[in-house]
Structure 1
Amino acid sequence: MKIDEIVTVLESFAPTALQESFDNCGLLVGNRHREATGVLLCVDVTESIVDEAIDLGCNMIVAHHPLIFKGIKKLNGQTYIERCIEKVIKNDLAIYAAHTNFDIVSQGVSWEMAHRLGLQDIRVLAPKTDTLCKVVTFVPPRYLAQIQEAVSEAGAGHIGDYDCCSYSSDGTGCFRALEGTSPFVGKKFEIHSEQESRVEWISPSYSVDRVVSAIKKVHPYEESAID
């Protein structure tokens, strides 16, 4: 398994887009394309933690607090942060920080603490705004189920404990294929009308690119209309 695969799993659970503005989550040091030989978990990266990772043969450290919060202008070993970075680079290690994105996400750090304390009426105290958007496409009804499955797997259509959530309505689409096209239905240079379903989903803003790519991959049309 490559380090990048581990990063993908971590960020599918808690996307870095959810982190606070002051934070610095994600892969801080290291090559994501290297094979992972082992992962060491910790709260803070220290010199002893780096030494432990080396001794255990773990070339990836996943920490809660980022080792690097602000820009570093020198690497001369004057601080423990600089010494950690130097040792990590020399030994081909990687450091990943999972901080406030893991704090805020459902079933993350704060959620788990609240449940273990037996708290009731649990909710986010300072919800993030502008994290959801609507994705719309138009597809022949017989391809609707295929589109639904692809979009759900890409991360859209999830509301609470439900997935595959969408709304669709039927209508008529109209288009004309021009030079250089290979239309799925209709003929080139002729205006064509087709029965279509307008289908829409709620999607996290950080998943939109993945959702759009999923739609284009399975949509039967050469040019899929996506709003």
Structure 2
Amino acid sequence: MVTIGKVVRVFDELYPPDLAESWDAVGLVCGDPSTDVQKVYFCVDVVAATVDEALDWGADLIVAHHPLLLRGVTAIPTTTPKGRTLHRLIRAGVGLFVAHTNADSALPGVSDALAARLDLQDLRPLSPRPKQPFHGIGRIGTLPTPLRLARLAELAAKALPATPGGIRYTGDPDRLVRTVAVSGGAGDSYLGDATRAGVDAFLTADLRHHPASEHTEAGGPALLDVAHWATEQPWLVQAATALTTGLRNATVETFVSDLVTDPWTNAVVPVRQL
């Protein structure tokens, strides 16, 4: 029989806690390590909709990418969304485990799954960790065949989970792209890394106006801005597969959620008047 503790040990090998950023909160959030586990549910965000789905499915453990409790708290009353969520999980006897920036930096990790969707080859970290050069945030890779920027954007839109906001990009649509950097989640703090790496394009999420504008004015790589959730959801399949492999002779049932938990639920594309 598999226990929560055994699942945690597998994930700690796959995504070592010491790879997490100092500000992060990863690991077991709630649950008894000795509790038996038959069903493990994977999601990006621990929100009401994903908890509903997990409980309806009969999950014993939720594995999430984003921490439920990233900042310190002194109370978790049910009058708050996070308090309600945590109380629901505890009452249902469902554990919660988080792998966040440790999964971002691990090999393979979040950005490897993202790079695989674009079929990038010869991967290396975008921002390598000191003294651990094979680990780090983001990945740089080469496309099997060079593509025009507009075609790359179309490919990304088809390859990644769909969200109402779609994909935005900046740069000459006819620019030829051979090398691409990707980073799951918010990535504008790695614009400098992408420029120094000399890649042709950088795909990430949550690009802010001023950093993106200044980057473009300086002639940096073309930018593709994707919904945050869409850049990280591909990792869930990778993590679920890695768990079943890591358990070796033991087995659990896994469920990978494709519920879109991006906060932007609608978009309007303006129609230009002729």
TM-score (norm 2): 0.45
What does 1:112-123 correspond to in 2, within 5 Å? 112-123=113-124
CA distance in 1, matches of 2:119, 2:110: 14
Which stretches in structure 1 are left out of the alignment for 5+ residues?
Answer: 133-227
- Deviation, 1:130, is 4.9
1:30–1:92 Cα contact (<8 Å) kept: yes
What does 1:66-145 correspond to in 2, within 5 Å? 66-130=67-131
Deviation sequence 1:19-73 (CA, Å, 0-9, x none): 1122111111111110013111111011232222222221200011111101121
CA distance in 1, matches of 2:126, 2:27: 24
Instruction: Tell me which residue corresponds to 1:32.
Output: 33
- Deviation, 1:125, is 2.4
CA distance in 2, matches of 1:47, 1:2: 25
1:37–1:57 Cα contact (<8 Å) kept: no
CA distance in 2, matches of 1:50, 1:116: 27
Gap change, CA 1:116 and 1:49, over 3 Å in 2: closer
2:41–2:61 Cα contact (<8 Å) kept: yes
Q: Percent identity?
A: 38
- Deviation, 1:116, is 2.6
What does 1:201-216 correspond to in 2, within 5 Å? none
Q: In proportion to residue count, which structure has more strand?
A: 2
Moved more, 26-35 or 70-79: 70-79
What does 1:112-191 correspond to in 2, within 5 Å? 112-130=113-131
CA distance in 1, matches of 2:12, 2:23: 18
Instruction: Tell me which residue corresponds to 2:179.
Output: none
Instruction: Tell me which residue corresponds to 1:223.
Output: none
Which stretches in structure 2 are left out of the alignment for 5+ residues?
Answer: 134-274
Aligned Cα root-mean-square deviation (Å): 1.8
3-state SS of paired residue (1:122): strand
Q: How many residues align?
A: 132
TM-score (norm 1): 0.54
